[in-house]
Amino acid sequence: MPRSRLEKKPERLLKQFFEHLTADKGISEETASEHAHRIEIFALPYLRDYRGKKLLDASGSDIEDYLGNWYIRKVLNSAKSDVRPVLAALKKFFKFLYERGEIDNEHRDDILMACKNPQQYIRRFETYFELEPESETWDAEFEEWLMGYGEEIEEDYEQPYKVNEELNRAFSEEDLNSSKPSVVKDFQTFLNYLSENNGMKLTAANSFIVRKHVFALNDAMSSPEELKSTANQPDSRTIHLFYHLSRTLGLFAVSAENRLEITPRMDIFGMLSPKEQFVVLFDAMWNETSWEKFLAPYSGGRREWARSIRGNIALLFSRCEPGKPYLFKEELNRVGMEMVATEDELVGIIITMAEIIIGVFGERIMPALKFFGLLDFGFAKDRDEYFVRHGVGIEWFSVSELGKKIFEVLAQEE
């Protein structure tokens, strides 16, 4: 390695990189500045200060550790939507170094190989934020997550589904037919559309379904939602729900090229009876999927606090007389008071109940429970449309016959 390379200052290289992007590549100063800033975080806080390495000595394994570990934990407000912009900047920068003769082709290829699969890093973000800090096993789960960086996550797409037997025994085909939920039919419509459009490009930021497909899917549903012309996937409660349930169930995967690819599990799911499909879908929603995923990204709040007391909510619903309307806020407050054993627990319960009343539960879980035919609910008259859309101000609810049977099982599970 030439001595001149060891003496290169990262600040000087960053300045030259910026000039290369603007003068040679015709990139706007704003975009070039963003690329340079992303390299600066990699070069200084991570490589120099954390790893004690020079920028020109960075390797593919450094990038895997940086974006699959350090960046997730150390960069303020880091999000999986950062992955592709960071990888784009890294690829541009190390190609720039290669063109200048600062690194050889073997070094360049090592870097580019580490940048090849953004989904690997996106999944690292997802699994990190699925860890529950309040869990008694958090230390062990975090250690397991930490030791897994840089590894490809392999999933067995040939594996059959495990149908929750307790839920499956809780109700009959007749109960399901009487309740007439459209969720199974609409979900099959969703899957058929994905099959017909297998390989479709997803959004760059979050690997969501792009707008034109969201609108086409919404129009195909039994009860299409009223969506603004600027709506994206998270704006549709139904499509956003189905997207995340499909990912939980492994019905499709996101390729390295950020395309949706259906898996063999779609055929396996199709072999289940409608009742079994209903159980598998509901179990995925209630037990298997982190509730924060059902909201739009960066929605804030403490969504998992609400999920942590779903057994208490199921107990409340299981006590209700089918078809009888109950006041939503009053019944939930009663649940909260039953959970308070000491004065110190009161603040935490108040925050948790707020997440139920004005957070993820009201905005996404209550509509999902209605979609599954387990309950009905309504808002006060003349409630502003904005609040209705976000589930704020639910006035009443009633539990169906099917819902009571299912909630009785869920209350016993917790």
Reduced to 3 states (helix: H, G, I; strand: E, B; else coil), residue 202 is strand
CATH of the domain spanning 3-129, picked from 1.10.150.130, 3.40.50.300, 3.40.50.2030, 2.40.50.140: 1.10.150.130
Average pLDDT over all residues of the chain: 85
DSSP code of residue 135: S
The two structure tokens encoding residue 359: 């957070």
In 3D, which of 79, 81, 39 has the Cα closest to residue 63? 39
Residue 138 has what pLDDT?
74
Residue 5 has what pLDDT?
42
CA-based end-to-end distance of the chain: 62
Residue 206 has what pLDDT?
84
Residue 332 has what pLDDT?
72
Residue 29 has what pLDDT?
92
Between 204 and 110, the higher pLDDT residue: 110
Residue 387 has what pLDDT?
52
In 3D, which of 254, 407, 389 has the Cα closest to residue 320? 407
Please give the average per-residue pLDDT across 168-174, as a whole number.
Answer: 94
Between 258 and 356, the higher pLDDT residue: 258
Residue 313 has what pLDDT?
86
For helices 29-41 and 10-19, the axis angle rounded to 10 degrees is: 160
Q: Which pTM value belongs to this model?
A: 0.71
Residue 70 has what pLDDT?
93
Least confidently predicted of 124-128, 265-269, 326-330, 386-390: 386-390
Q: Which alpha helices (H) appear in 42-82, and where do they start and end?
A: 60-65, 71-74
Contact predicate 308/352, CB 8 Å: yes
Query: What is d(CA 398, CA 400) in angstroms, rounded to the nearest whole number?
Result: 7
Least confidently predicted of 173-182, 192-201, 218-227: 173-182
DSSP, residue by residue, 358-411: HSHIIIIIHHHHHHTTSEEEEE-TT--HHHHHTTTTEEEEEE-HHHHHHHHHHH
Residue 296 has what pLDDT?
78
DSSP, residue by residue, 312-325: HHHHHHHTSPTT--
Q: Does residue 167 register a pLDDT over 60?
A: yes
Between 343 and 91, the higher pLDDT residue: 91
Q: What's 294-414's CATH class?
A: mainly alpha
Please give the average per-residue pLDDT across 77-102, as a whole number.
Answer: 91
pLDDT band at 139 (very low <50, low <70, confident <90, very high): confident
Rounded to 10 degrees, the C-alpha dihedral 348/349/351/352 comes to: 120
Query: What is d(CA 148, CA 73) in angstroms, rounded to the nearest whole number?
Result: 14
Neighbouring residues of 118: CB distance < 8 A, sequence distance ≥ 6 = 83, 84, 87, 256, 258
Residue 171 has what pLDDT?
96
**Residue 192 C-alpha from the chain's centroid:** 22
Please give the average per-residue pLDDT across 19-48, as a whole number.
Answer: 92
Residue 346 has what pLDDT?
43
Q: Does residue 149 register a pLDDT over 60?
A: no
Query: What is d(CA 155, CA 378) in angstroms, rounded to the nearest whole number?
Result: 41
Q: What backbone phi and psi angles, to 5 degrees, belong to 306?
A: -65, -45
Residue 192 has what pLDDT?
97
Residue 389 has what pLDDT?
65
Q: What backbone phi and psi angles, to 5 degrees, belong to 295?
A: -90, 170
Q: Which alpha helices (H) appear in 20-170, and where do they start and end?
A: 29-41, 60-65, 71-74, 83-99, 105-114, 118-130, 138-146, 165-170
Residue 41 has what pLDDT?
94
Least confidently predicted of 119-123, 292-296, 308-312, 367-371: 308-312
DSSP, residue by residue, 215-266: HHHHHHSSS-----TT--GGG-HHHHHHHHHHHHTTSEEE-TTSBEEE-THH
- CA triple 173-177-179, angle to 5 deg: 120
The two structure tokens encoding residue 42: 């990699």
Digit-coded pLDDT (tens) for 300-331: 555 555 666 788 888 889 999 999 999 887 77
In 3D, which of 353, 302, 335, 303 has the Cα closest to residue 414? 335
Please give the average per-residue pLDDT across 32-43, as a whole number.
Answer: 93
Residue 331 has what pLDDT?
78
Helix, strand, coil shares, percent, the chain, to 5: 65, 5, 30
Residue 342 has what pLDDT?
45
Digit-coded pLDDT (tens) for 330-386: 777 676 555 444 445 444 544 455 555 556 888 899 999 999 999 999 887 776 665
Between 386 and 104, the higher pLDDT residue: 104
Neighbouring residues of 343: CB distance < 8 A, sequence distance ≥ 6 = none
Domain ranges of the chain: 3-129, 157-289, 294-414
Query: What is d(CA 300, CA 385) in angstroms, rounded to the nearest whole number?
Result: 21
Q: Which helix (H) or strand (E) holds 326?
A: strand 326-327
